[in-house]
Structure 1
Amino acid sequence: MITIAGGGLAGLASAVEIARRGAAVRLFEAGPEIGASSVARFAGGMLAPWCERESAEEAVISLGAMAADWWGGITPVSRRGTLVVAPERDRAELTRFARRTSAFRRVNGSEIDVLEPALAGRFSQGLMFDQEAHLNPRQALQDLEKAAHGLGVDIVLGTKAPAKVDLDCTGIAADLPELRPVRGEMAILSCPDVLITRTIRLLHPRMPLYLVPRGDRVYMIGATMIESSSTRPPTVRSLSDMLNAAFTLHPAFAEAAVLETGAGLRPAFPDNLPRLVERNGSLHLNGLYRHGFLLAPAMATKVANTLIPETYDADHRQSKSA
């Protein structure tokens, strides 16, 4: 029996990968339901390794390239790519972004108009990352829980994990050296007058914005990364900056309804890359930072490779077929 502490994104993904190899898994989640206390509920759900390379290490591409296929076996994934644009006055930001990324094609204003008619006439240049995708984080967590149950994972809710477990996925609550919180803020908007079908990144030197469709003309917007351990709601200044950026993307967002705002603490190591750490007899998966849905599949696979040797997997399959 493999025991896991934490029923968030990292814990559930690891439970699924381990259970797929035939091992019995028991996962402990202190909250009353899956996702209730997970920082993943505030995520954008962008599966965008090539865009993320703009501010991250090369490992984000190598680890994240398989994420869309992995998630496609769990939950609906929109594979419409990422469109990166900038106001005319900030074209230098687009040039800088292109220098730091790859796997894109340059698009002009006419091509942007075809890709996203709602943005017609608003941007003269952009970068289109056709291989990227996005998902709905909250739906994905629910579907991941269903997948875990389907594989026989025993999920124990409302119960603190034992002091000693095989795998600790408790995020910022874990006692790990160098782990720090990075605050991220977001808002969910309903804008019936705007139809956007793919992730949009609006570049700006002070307040870059990403917008991710949630369906039915509902959009998640996010921008902030603050070195802070505060869990208070987003400030008026942060919300004002995000909403102003959304207005820059399309003026109709001035009339959007704000359905929800929120802030979460993302666990991060100094290099902003996830790690597997052995500490006090347990393996820890932590430090997913802002790349949770993108890197969780690869890191969960690494966890399974560590905890479940190939010989166990092969022997288990052989014994089941005997």
Structure 2
Amino acid sequence: MKIAIVGAGICGSVLAYECIKRNLNVTVYEQDRQKQSCSYTAAGMLAPMAELESANTNVYKLGLRSLVLWPVLVDELTKLNHSIFYRDNGTLVLAHTQDTGSLAQFHSTLKRKLDDFDDCVSSVSASSLEPELKHFNHALHLKKEAQVDSHQVLTALHSVIAQQGEFNHSHVHTIGSHEVNGDYYDWVFDCRGLAAKDQLSLYGVRGERILLHAPEVNLQHMIRVMHPKYKLYIVPREDHHFIIGATEIESADDGPMSVRSALELLTAAYSVHKGFAEARIIRMDTGVRPTSLNHQPIVDVKEGLTRINGLYRHGYLLSPAVIEQALSDDLFQQKRQQRVNG
């Protein structure tokens, strides 16, 4: 069965990998793999409970399913000799004294929405999990959340695609049922993100992040800091590297980070841990995430063509579960069975 996948972000790459596992003939169209798409600027947070405050239960349930699928994917890639940083010790949600009301509201929201609240969430002293955060008295530990290194995952997936599938670097000018650029395929998957906005109702949400090297900081948990204006996240990686992010701007501008955003992020990080004062800025990244009008992932299936899009800021959280659903679709499975039967 010949499969075309247009787009090699996290969604298209996971899809290609899963198709290759099913012994399908995969061609991935990506004009410039070196271009830093929004999948490269993601923090790789697998945090369905932290997102539940603003997301609905559909996103939450898909996120829970992905939490089951991600360790399997990481284990498979590791066995193929790819190094993938993965950690599942949860998220620590904090608030400065003046923002404790936001933390209390977040606590109430989770308690209302989560049937298994007591199994998923604990009220803790921040220093009990992170000794260097003694100035934060109250915190919530979201115990079942995890993270992956976005760059390592994409690099590993692209390596598998290059070895066992095919990359086509042509500019894609036409996509249709069973067809890309006039070439026939048994099935086509459109995973182009905002490039598909002419076919789907999408808009861009800009995200910005800073990668720091901070030898004086020893945080081991993902950190979310509640704030009336934004929610800062600090994601620890290997060798004292940390991703700092928070901003969400409704804009399709993928230009460099603004001075204002950089100052806000760095100041907020310093307010959490003074060790960030001596950190080195490794890089600043920006990306524009494809977002549907209702912030829900789009899986639009027609004969010979599936469009997967609108994963918003949940690309890593949702991709495995959304891909699982797309490959289980009845129309796709019927076509696959027809090819098996000759």
Q: What's the TM-score, normalizing by structure 1?
A: 0.89
| In structure 2, distance between residues paired with 1:268 and 1:208 | 19
Q: Are 1:237 and 2:260 counterparts?
A: yes
Using the TM superposition, give the Cα deviation of residue 315 of structure 1 relative to its aligned residue in structure 2, in angstroms: 8.4
Is the partner of 2:201 in helix, strand or coil? coil
Residues 124, 141 of structure 2: 8 Å contact kept: no
Aligned to 1:139: 152
Would you say 1:308 and 2:332 are equivalent positions? yes
Deviations 1:61-108 (A, max 9, x none): 110112233222333420111110111221111111112224443333
| Corresponding residue for residue 190 of structure 1 | 213
- From 154, 157, 166, the equivalent of 2:166 is 154
Deviations 1:236-255 (A, max 9, x none): 11111111110111122122
SS in structure 1 of the partner of residue 139 of structure 2: strand
1:82 alignment partner, one of 81, 91, 112: 91
Query: Who is 1:122 aligned against?
Result: 135
- Report the counterpart of residue 247 of structure 1 in structure 2: 270
- Looking at structure 2, the residues matched to 280 and 30 of structure 1 have their Cα atoms a distance apart, in angstroms, of 25
**Counterpart selection for 1:214 from 230, 237, 240:** 237
Measure, in 2, the Cα distance between the counterparts of 1:280 and 1:179: 22
Q: Secondary structure at the match of 2:328?
A: helix
Following superposition, the deviation at residue 282 of structure 1 comes to 3.2
* Structure 2 SS opposite 1:73: helix
Which residue of structure 1 lines up, in the alignment, with residue 107 of structure 2? 98
Taking the aligned partners of 2:153 and 2:190, their CA distance within structure 1 comes to 21
Residue 66 in structure 1 maps to residue 65 in structure 2: yes
Residue 37 of structure 1 aligns to a residue in which SS? coil
| 1:200-240 superposed Cα distances (whole Å, 9 cap, x missing partner) | 00111123200111211110011011111111211111111
In the alignment, residue 163 of structure 1 is paired with which amino acid?
A: T
Cα-to-partner distance string for 1:100-156 (whole Å, 9 max, x where unaligned): 2244433332xx22311221x211111101111001100011122234456x32223
> Distance between the aligned counterparts of 1:282 and 1:314, measured in 2?
16
Aligned counterpart, 2:36: 37
Q: Residue 266 of structure 1 contacts residue 290 of structure 1 at CA under 8 Å; is this kept in 2?
A: yes
Cα distance change on mapping 1:254 and 1:11 into 2, 3 Å? same
SS at match of 1:207: coil
Whether the aligned pair in 2 keeps the contact of 1:82 and 1:198 (CA below 8 Å) is yes
TM-score with structure 2 setting the length:
0.84
**One-letter identity of the residue aligned with 2:129:** L
Preserved CA contact (<8 Å) 1:22 1:313: no
Structure 1 counterpart of 2:253, one-letter code: S
Return closer, same or farther for 1:91/1:295 CA change in 2, 3 Å cut-off: same
Distance 1:147 1:314 in 2: 27
- In structure 1, the partner of 2:29 is 28
Gapped regions of structure 1 (runs ≥ 5): none
> How far 1:32 sits from its partner (Å)?
4.2
CA distance in 2, matches of 1:311, 1:3: 14
The 1:313/1:21 distance shift into structure 2, 3 A limit, reads: farther
Asked if 2 retains the 8 angstrom alpha-carbon contact of 1:21 and 1:308, the reply is no
1:107 aligns with 2:147: no
Moved more, 189-198 or 301-310: 301-310
How has the CA–CA distance of structure 1 residues 279 and 64 changed in structure 2, closer, same or farther, with 3 Å as cutoff? same
Q: Distance in 2 between matches of 1:88 and 1:314?
A: 63
AA partner of residue 46 (structure 1):
M
Q: Which amino acid aligns with 2:51?
A: E
Runs of 4+ in 1 over 6 A off after TM superposition: none
RMSD: 2.3
1:106–1:125 Cα contact (<8 Å) kept: no
Deviates more, 1:122-131 or 1:160-169: 160-169
Instruction: Give secondary structure in 2 for the equivalent of 1:160.
Output: coil
2:284 paired with 1:270: no
